Amino acid sequence: MCETILEVIACSVADAVAAEKGGAGRLEVVSALDRGGLTPPVELVRAIKDAVELPLRVMVRESDGYQTSGETEIEKLCAAADEFSRLDVDGLVLGFLKGKTIDLDLTRRVLAAAGKSKATFHHAFEDAADQVQAVREIKKLSQVDRILSHGGSGDLEERQQRLDAYVHAAGPEIRIVAGGGIDTRTIALLRHTSAVREFHVGRAARRGFRVDGEVQSELVRALVNELHG
């Protein structure tokens, strides 16, 4: 059985320190959390890496949505991937679509700029027309070792069934990370009924968008305690 991990979004050094204190297993570093997460400044990633010992996954996303506006944006994505890979982070977080299918060409191009860095394919996955087929396409990207998914619409039982289908389709190369609406209740249920072993939280580790160090640490600790039961 795979190790259970709680991944927490960090938008600042204070975020990162509080999450580590609360027992997080990995961080996802982003800017503009209110826009779903955009590429953070390289200086912030460097400062967080110096401040904590947790593995970092770093967002590479220059605009809202999952389709790029043209060559200028693609060049920015590639430059960011290159910079972050040079910091020796755990990996990138990205995802691009062409219509309702995975944009393999663009994803390969950005990953090629990141050396051997691993990557998480983020919630762009949810906007594909067929998620199981999307998993098959993403498996063609050797650097992608995780897919972030909330399991679609419906109640928790329906979402859990989809997540398990994704786990089956993705393994063994790729792990599914459950994220989106994750809290102590959903962790408690999914931990016992689902094959998912990695969980991703943003707002569940915060009071609003600001961070209060001790409050955030306690929120993260409660989630970790539920995860390890």
Q: Summarize pLDDT for 198-209 with one digit per residue, the tens.
A: 999 998 887 765
Cα 25 from Cα 27, distance rounded (Å): 7
Q: What are phi and psi of 142, to 5 degrees?
A: -65, -25
Q: How far apart are CA 115 and CA 82, in angstroms?
A: 7
Can you give the pLDDT at residue 53? Answer: 98
Task: Give the Cα separation of 7 and 136 in Å (integer).
Answer: 24
Split at pLDDT 50, 70, 90, the class of 122 is very high
pLDDT of residue 205: 86
Q: Residue 95 has what DSSP assignment?
A: -
Q: What is residue 84's predicted lDDT score, i.e. its pLDDT?
A: 98
Q: Write 74-79 long-range contacts (CB < 8 A, 24+).
A: 74/106, 74/109, 74/110, 76/39, 77/39, 77/110, 77/113, 78/109, 78/110, 78/112, 78/113, 79/113
Q: Taking 70 as the threshold, does the pLDDT of residue 30 lie above it? A: yes
- Of 71-80, 101-110, 184-193, least confident by mean pLDDT is 184-193
Q: What's the whole-number mean pLDDT along residues 172-194?
A: 93
What integer pLDDT is reported at residue 46 of this predicted model? 98
Q: pLDDT per residue over 73-84, tens digit each? A: 999 999 999 999
Can you give the pLDDT at residue 212?
Answer: 58
pLDDT tens digit string along 9-21?
A: 999 999 999 999 9
Residue 183 has pLDDT above 80, yes or no: yes
φ/ψ of 220, rounded to 5, equals -65, -40
pTM over the 0.85 mark: yes
Amino acid at 214: E
Predicted confidence at residue 203, as pLDDT, reads 85
pLDDT above 80 (res 210): no
Which pLDDT band holds residue 114 (cuts at 50, 70, 90)? very high
- Residue 92's nearest CA partner among 48, 65, 122 is 122
Q: Is the dihedral of CA 71, 73, 76, 77 positive or negative?
A: negative
- 35-64 pLDDT, tens digit per residue, is 999 999 999 999 999 999 999 999 999 999
CATH of the domain at 41: 3.20.20.380
Taking 60 as the threshold, does the pLDDT of residue 103 lie above it?
Answer: yes
Separation of alpha carbons 154 and 158, rounded Å: 6
Number of compact structural domains in the chain: 1
Domain that includes residue 221, residue range: 5-228
Angle between helices 13-22 and 42-51 (to 10 degrees): 30
Instruction: Report whether 146 contacts 120 (CB < 8 A).
Output: yes
**What's the mean pLDDT in 137-162?**
95
pLDDT at 211 over 80: no
pLDDT at 215: 82
